[in-house]
Amino acid sequence: MNTHALPWPSVLAQAETQSKSLVDYIADGGQIGMIIILLSLVAITLIVAQFLQVRSARLAPPEAVSELDRFLSAGDVDHAIAYTENPDHNSFLARVMSSALVRCSRSPFGFLELRSAIEEAGQRETAKLYRLTDAIGLIAAIAPMLGLLGTVVGMVGAFDTLTLADGPARPDQLAGNISQALVTTVLGLIVAIPATAAHTFLRNRVDALTTDVGEIIEDLAAHLESASGAKPTGAPAQGAPRP
C-alpha cells in the first residue's frame, strides 16, 4: 500500500513547480503578445475616458441649460454667446450653441438659418464623440488579427524546428513555438471580445445622449424663432420676458 502511495506527493510537488503564472503565459506570447497587452491598456484607457465624457451631465450641464434658456428666452444673444464661449462652461451643448449663434449673428440671413447652423454644429460635435469610440472599435478589430499573426509565426517557428532538427524533434523543442501560437490567439480574443462589447455600447450611448441633447437644443432654439425681434445685438426682443 505504501509503495503505491509514495509517488503521489512527488507528482503533486512536480505539478506545483511546473505551474505557470499569468505573467509567464503572457511572456510566452513573445513580442506580438506584448503588443496585444499594450493595446489592451490603450483600450481600457479609452473606454474609461469615454464613460467619463459621454454623460448627460457632461454633454448638457443643467446650469448651462438654465442660463441659456434665460438668455435666449429674452433674446439676449450676446450674453448667450459670451456664456458659451467661456472655457469654464465648455460642454457639448455650449459648443453647438456657440457655433450656431456666432454663425447666425454674422450671416445676412440672421436667425433664419439657425436650424441648419445647429444641425451642422451638432454633426461636428457628435463626430468628435465618435472618434474615441471608433478607436476602441479599431483595437477590437486589430487584436484578433495580431493573435492570428502570432499563431502563424509560432507555427512557422515550429516547422522550422522540425526542419532543422537532427532526427525527430523533441517536444520541448516545439513547446516554445506552439505556446506562442496558442497564447497570442487567446490574448487577442481576450482583448477583442470586451472591446467589441464596449464599442457597441458606447456608440449606442452616444446616439441616445446626443439625441436627448438635441431635443434640449431644439427647445432653446425655439425661443429665438418665436421671438420676432431677436437680433445679435444683446438687446431683448420686443415682447420677450426680461431675465
In a domain, 167, yes or no: yes
In a domain, 75, yes or no: yes
Q: How many CB atoms lie within 10 A of CB 135?
A: 17
What pLDDT was estimated at residue 160? 62
In a domain, 18, yes or no: no
Which amino acid belongs to residue 238?
Answer: Q
Number of domains in the chain: 1
What pLDDT was estimated at residue 166? 61
Summarize pLDDT for 45-85 with one digit per residue, the tens. Answer: 999 999 998 998 989 999 999 999 998 888 888 888 999 99
In a domain, 234, yes or no: no
In a domain, 152, yes or no: yes
Compute CA 159 distance to the chain's CA centroid, rounded to the nearest angstrom.
40
The C-alpha angle with vertex 224 and arms to 220 and 226, in degrees rounded to 5, equals: 105
In a domain, 17, yes or no: no
Please tell me the distance from the alpha carbon of residue 216 to that of residue 12, in angstroms, as a whole number. Answer: 66
Burial class (CB in 10 A: 0-12, 13-18, 19+), 151: buried
What pLDDT was estimated at residue 182? 79
For 17-33, b where at least 16 C-beta lie within 10 A, e where not — what string? eeeeeeeeebebbbebb
> Domain range for residue 184?
26-226
In a domain, 5, yes or no: no
User: What pTM, to 2 d.p., does this model score?
Assistant: 0.72
Compute CA 33 distance to the chain's CA centroid, rounded to the nearest angstrom.
23
**Cβ proximity of 113 and 107 under 8 Å:** yes
Give the residues of the chain that fall short of pLDDT 70.
1-29, 109-111, 158-177, 179, 225-243
In a domain, 8, yes or no: no
